[in-house]
């Protein structure tokens, strides 16, 4: 008897309507490779999507945009005042209300098991704040609504030069730099390391892998001379973690300025690099995202781990400076859609 083929059901939120969300979605879905194997629904306001399409049609090449009539749309109703107050290229309370409503709708339907994964187009955190929603980002909203106590922000990118896959988890995310060393604790580090190991094992099928962990201070503290966190608690914490999972190779604390040299070589074409890690753990946002975006800004995928469903997003933001011009690159959105499908299949397999 033939087995029914599983088609992941993805919901894609339109993101901030003043940004490039509509454009990268319409472009990504014009490429049939991005959606042929998936059932895709767009969560957003249909009228705004159609308006965006009409405006883009005049500046984009033919066939680079899918037509809204060819899409399944979960129409999120917005009141007429909110719609009227949305100005292209400007994040505002109105655009924040819209992108928040799209997310709420997608999350509720996914929790009701209508979808396997959520792919989110970018939102502006400042627009959410202006609309009265105090979340550092979409990740925290997803965690709250799904009652997830542990969640991680992982960036995944496959090199177009070598096929090597870079996976970078951020231990801390959207906090001021001056708070990083207070927020980092042994408990938080253990939580993030656990999440990374579980994700590598369950989502990527990696057993007994290697994880590289960056130091916090220049030269990882230079034996306390340039900062004491490594000596005072990070190194003892790592020794304990090595004892807990001896089958995993935990490299640390690697001086942050050289941690990304080998990944960079592997990314750009060197097949001979030794001891590459399956996952890289950066201690704060820009420590991890500067190298990721230098290597892979056009194709990295922000993946939330620890949620009861799959969530991916392109790595870029709303790009208000180029919205409506027809020049936004949709590669990262395509990669986000493809990874959401892949991870949905993988999770389904591990449940059966
Ligand atoms: N996943 C999400 O929801 C994210 C949201 N943001 C939000 O986006 C807003 C703007 O953030 P920025 O730091 O300016 O980052 P950004 O990624 O929006 O833009 C940075 C630069 O890259 C360019 N760019 C971005 N995406 C592009 C694309 N697909 N094709 C061609 N060029 C592109 C922009 O034009 C700009 O010059 C902020 O409010 C931030 O919070 C930022 C990152 C991720
Ligand atoms: N820098 C990553 C980012 O801003 C995405 O945040 P989130 O909205 O996915 O939480």
Q: Is the CB of residue 300 below 6 angstroms from any atom belonging to ligand 1?
A: no
Give the pocket of ligand 2 (CB within 6 Å): 137-139, 302, 313
Q: Does 174 carry a binding-site annotation?
A: yes
Mutate to test the pocket of ligand 2, among 124, 138, 319 (most ligand atoms within 8 A of CB): 138
For residue 123, give the ligand nearest its CA: 1
Instruction: Report the nearest-CA residue for atom 5 of ligand 2.
Output: 137
pTM for the whole thing? 0.96
Q: Does 293 carry a binding-site annotation?
A: yes
Could you give the ipTM of this predicted complex? Answer: 0.98
Query: What are the structural domains of the chain?
Result: 1-148+309-352 (3.40.718.10), 150-306 (3.40.718.10)
pLDDT tens, position by position, for the chain (352 residues)? 456 789 999 999 999 999 999 999 999 999 877 678 899 999 999 999 999 999 999 999 878 999 999 999 999 999 988 989 999 999 999 999 999 999 999 999 999 999 999 999 999 999 999 999 999 999 999 999 999 999 999 999 999 999 999 999 999 999 999 999 999 999 999 999 999 999 999 999 999 999 999 999 999 999 999 999 999 999 999 999 999 999 999 999 999 999 999 999 999 998 899 999 999 999 999 999 999 999 999 999 999 999 999 999 999 999 999 999 999 999 999 999 999 999 999 999 887 7
Mutate to test the pocket of ligand 1, among 318, 320, 337 (most ligand atoms within 8 A of CB): 318
Instruction: Report the nearest-CA residue for atom 35 of ligand 1.
Output: 319
CB atoms within 10 A of CB 225: 11
Euclidean distance between CA atoms 72 and 114, whole angstroms: 14
Residue 273 Cα, ligand 2 centroid: separation in angstroms?
A: 31
Q: Does 35 carry a binding-site annotation?
A: no
Concatenating the DSSP letter of every residue in 225-287 gives: TT-SHIIIIIHHHHHHHHHH-TTSEEEEEEPTTTTTHHHHHHHHT-TT--S--SEEEESSHHH
Euclidean distance between CA atoms 252 and 180, whole angstroms: 18
């Amino acid at each position: 008897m033939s087995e029914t083929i599983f088609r992941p059901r993805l919901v894609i939120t339109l993101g901030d309507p003043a940004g490039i969300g509509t454009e990268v979605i319409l472009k990504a879905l014009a490429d049939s490779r991005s959606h042929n194997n998936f059932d895709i629904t767009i969560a957003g306001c249909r009228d705004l999507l159609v308006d965006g399409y009409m405006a883009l049609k005049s500046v984009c090449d033919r066939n680079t945009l899918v037509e809204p009539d060819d899409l399944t749309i979960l129409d999120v109703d917005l009141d007429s005042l909110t719609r009227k107050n949305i100005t292209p290229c400007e994040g505002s309370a109105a655009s924040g209300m819209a992108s928040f409503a799209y997310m709420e709708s997608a999350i509720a339907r996914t929790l009701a098991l209508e979808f396997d994964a959520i792919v989110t187009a970018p939102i502006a955190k400042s627009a959410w704040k202006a609309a009265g929603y105090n979340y550092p980002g979409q990740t925290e909203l997803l965690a709250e609504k799904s009652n997830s106590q542990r969640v991680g922000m992982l960036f995944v990118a496959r090199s177009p030069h070598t096929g090597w896959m870079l996976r970078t988890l951020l231990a801390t995310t959207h906090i001021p730099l001056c708070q990083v060393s207070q927020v980092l604790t042994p408990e938080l580090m253990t939580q993030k390391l656990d999440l990374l190991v579980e994700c590598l094992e369950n989502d990527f099928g990696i057993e007994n892998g290697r994880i590289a962990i960056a130091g916090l201070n220049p030269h990882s503290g230079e034996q306390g001379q340039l900062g004491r966190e490594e000596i005072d608690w990070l190194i003892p914490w790592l020794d304990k973690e090595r004892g807990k999972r001896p089958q995993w190779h935990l490299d640390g604390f690697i001086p942050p300025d050289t941690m990304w040299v080998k990944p960079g070589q592997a990314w750009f074409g060197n097949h001979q690099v030794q001891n590459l890690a399956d996952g890289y753990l950066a201690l704060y946002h820009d420590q991890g995202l500067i190298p990721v975006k230098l290597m892979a800004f056009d194709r990295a995928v922000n993946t939330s781990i620890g949620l009861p469903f799959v969530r991916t997003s392109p790595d870029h933001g709303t790009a208000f400076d180029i919205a409506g011009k027809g020049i936004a690159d949709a590669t990262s959105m395509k990669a986000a859609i493809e990874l959401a499908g892949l991870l949905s299949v993988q999770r389904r397999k591990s449940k059966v």
